[in-house]
């Protein structure tokens, strides 16, 4: 019971904080559509918290995968945006 209350409070606090952090990071790094990426990161996290709290049939691995999906997708998009468009030179990655 106490774990559910803690998870609910953390879900209520972390979801908007995640949305705000992703929005400002995407704006700073110049990722296109920062509002969309903030939503893509925060919505699955909130869904994962909701699955943990209200659906008993979902295995914990499914809850974790759902909660992390948006954050991982944003990480890939951020890496692509920050990446260099020039092809790598031979031996460049070894340094």
Q: Is residue 17 part of a domain?
A: yes
Asked if residue 58 belongs to a domain, the reply is yes
Q: Look at residue 85 in the predicted model and tell me its pLDDT.
A: 72
Question: Could you tell me the residue range of the domain that residue 33 belongs to?
Answer: 2-83
pLDDT in tens, 47-90: 999 999 999 899 999 999 999 999 999 999 999 888 877 776 77
Ordered DSSP codes for 15-73: HHHHHHHHHHHHHHHT-S-HHHHHHHHHHHHHHHHHHHHH-TTS-HHHHHHHHHHHHHH
Q: Does 92 fall in a domain?
A: no
Handedness of CA 57, 63, 66, 67 (dihedral sign): positive
In a domain, 90, yes or no: no
In a domain, 67, yes or no: yes
Does the pLDDT at position 91 exceed 70?
A: no
Q: How many domains does the chain have?
A: 1
53, part of any domain: yes
Mention every residue, 6+ apart, whose C-beta is less than 8 A from residue 43.
70
Q: What is the pTM of this model?
A: 0.83
Report pLDDT for 8. Answer: 94
């Amino acid at each position: 019971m106490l774990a559910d209350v803690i998870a609910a409070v953390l879900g209520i606090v972390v979801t908007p904080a995640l949305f705000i952090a992703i929005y400002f990071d995407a704006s700073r790094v110049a990722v296109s559509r920062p509002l969309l990426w903030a939503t893509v990161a925060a919505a699955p996290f909130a869904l994962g918290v909701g699955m943990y709290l209200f659906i008993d049939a979902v295995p914990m691995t499914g809850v974790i995968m759902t909660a992390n999906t948006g954050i991982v997708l944003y990480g890939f998009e951020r890496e692509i945006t920050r990446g260099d468009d020039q092809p790598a030179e031979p031996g460049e990655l070894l340094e």
